[in-house]
Amino acid sequence: MPGPTSPGMFVMRSITLSCFLFLLACGAAGDPLVQSTAAAAGWLRTQTAPDAGTLHAAAEAAALLHDQPLLEWVQQQRGAFANDAWIALLDRQTAAVQPATARQGHAKLHRYLLASLAPPDDPIAAAVLREFLGLELHGYMLTHQLYALRWARERGAKDAVSTERVQQLVQRMRAAFDALPVFSDLYAEQANLLLAFGERLPKSSIERLTQAQHSDGSFRDETSWNLVFDGEAVASVSNPVHTTAQALLALARWKCGESQR
């Protein structure tokens, strides 16, 4: 029998390690979640002109999944926002320029969201964000409240509202999410945000995501609706690039938290 440090034992250990790595790689390749995230990321990299929120979600997913090609795609696309207020969402060293007044309708929503991208010690932005987070909203407007809270946290800002208020918003979203009957763009957004705020989702929720994926890797919700805020309704249709990025980030969050369940 070869000794513990003999060449024969070294070869045996090398073969054992190689077999282990091979089996590990094969297991990952056959994992439906790995396949789903890879397909979604691959489809995203073929797309152009995404919005800033989509790029932000894709960047987060790339970081969680250690997906360098997807991160490179994000870097290539972000150049389109060089002179846009939303570059602040993609570059934490850049502060968003705040509109001077809180106008009505969606312009007011725009001001609320940009307040989350202000310097973390800006008292005026904190007051604007506090006002926004205090509103009783639903659907996409509720998701935007929690997006704004996360974006402000990313910049190191203290929460503009109490811990109790944050939990109220998260639990309201959880109740709405559990009541959604089928996959939709809103479902992908809410799954992503609930996981981001530490909610535990059942495996069936993630399976609903993967089952909605198209054969090309994309996620699509082609329904239309009116996006209403402050009395102003704007007709909207989901963009599959946005929906795919949100679904990918939700899957990435779930995948990275699997070992903790």
- Which CA distances in Å does 3 have to 7, 8, 10, 252? 8, 8, 10, 45
What is the token pair recorded at 224?
Answer: 């239309």
Domain borders along the chain are 34-260
- Whether the pLDDT of residue 16 is over 80: the answer is no
- Whether the pLDDT of residue 5 is over 60: the answer is no
Supply the pTM of this predicted model.
Answer: 0.86
For residue 28, what pLDDT is reported?
54
- Whether the pLDDT of residue 26 is over 80: the answer is no
For residue 260, what pLDDT is reported?
47
**Could you report the per-residue pLDDT of 90-147, keeping only the tens digit for each?**
998 888 776 666 678 999 999 999 999 999 999 999 999 999 999 999 999 999 999 9
Question: Which own/partner pairs from 62-70 qualify as long-range (CB within 8 Å, at least 24 positions apart)?
Answer: 64/249, 64/252, 64/253, 64/255, 64/256, 65/37, 65/41, 65/252, 65/255, 65/256, 67/41, 69/41, 69/45, 70/41, 70/44, 70/45
